Amino acid sequence: MITFTKSVLLLCCLTLATTAYGKYKVNLVFNAPTNQNETIILKNLKQAGDAQEVVDLVNQKLSLPKQLNIVFGAEDGPLYDPEINTIMMPYAFIDEVKTRFVKAKYSETGVTPDQATNDAIMHTLFHELGHALIEMYQLPVVGKEEDAVDSLANVLLIEFYDQGQETVLSAADLFDLESGDREDFEEADFWDEHSLDSQRYYSALCHVYGSDPDNYESILENTDISDDRAELCIQEYEAASRNWFKLLNLK
């Protein structure tokens, strides 16, 4: 039987141990490629170093209550599996994204399909990270979680990376390309937990413009956005960044 003094001591040491070891790190895994295509994808991924940058940012800015795994080359995904605390990113998804940018002749925008793919994957990683953080910290979310984590991806990229807005714009363009997959909507599209791809596209543009209206005035010129909505984008981005910084205790 543990005496009172012993249990107090035990409690004290457990608390110390939690404080000392409470900051868990992200574990980044690249599964072995299963074909030549995946070998090329893996090589590009490692060369770009974006996944490692995401990991470094999380390790530097956040104190995770448990270890988070990011697995490239997973079979399912992209998704966050709360059962095993793992973000899964299949090589096939990365390949699919690149194919879309190649087919759309994305180079004509001045951004190579490889760069745009890396951008969109980085945005996707931060989106899945958002699901992980909501689960791990039990964060309150009172709207669509999918919209919330899209906004987290936009905020983290814009606030912590020099070219963050450009990264978000590539990711937005992927939503735009994906929205072209269908001409007619079915009921299932409206039941989906995600907003429609077109809505995700415009929301991302709204955040980019809202984060830096002077530099991204072209978004107003190239779209039919009303003056009132443009003004609201500034307020919306300000609220999204302020609230995510507060929820995650970011500096």
Q: Which is nearer to Zn ion, 204 or 225 (CB)?
A: 204
Write out the E strands in 83-225.
86-89
- Whole-Å CA distances, 154 to 169, 172, 213, 250: 10, 10, 15, 15
In whole angstroms, the minimum distance from the beta carbon of 194 to Zn ion comes to 7
Q: Which is nearer to Zn ion, 98 or 131 (CB)?
A: 131
Q: What share of residues in the chain are helix, strand, coil (percent, to 5)?
A: 65, 10, 25
In whole angstroms, the minimum distance from the beta carbon of 245 to Zn ion comes to 21
Q: Which is nearer to Zn ion, 81 or 146 (CB)?
A: 146
Q: Which is nearer to Zn ion, 40 or 79 (CB)?
A: 79
In whole angstroms, the minimum distance from the beta carbon of 216 to Zn ion comes to 25
In whole angstroms, the minimum distance from the beta carbon of 131 to Zn ion comes to 6
Binding site for Zn ion (CB under 5 A): 146
In whole angstroms, the minimum distance from the beta carbon of 47 to Zn ion comes to 27
Helix (H, G, I), strand (E, B) or coil at 184: coil
The 26-30 sheet, strands edge to edge: 26-30, 68-72, 86-89, 79-81
Q: Which is nearer to Zn ion, 51 or 152 (CB)?
A: 152
∠ at Cα 111 (56, 108), nearest 5°? 165
Residue nearest to Zn ion (CB): 146
User: Which sign, positive or negative, has the C-alpha torsion 215, 220, 226, 232?
Assistant: negative
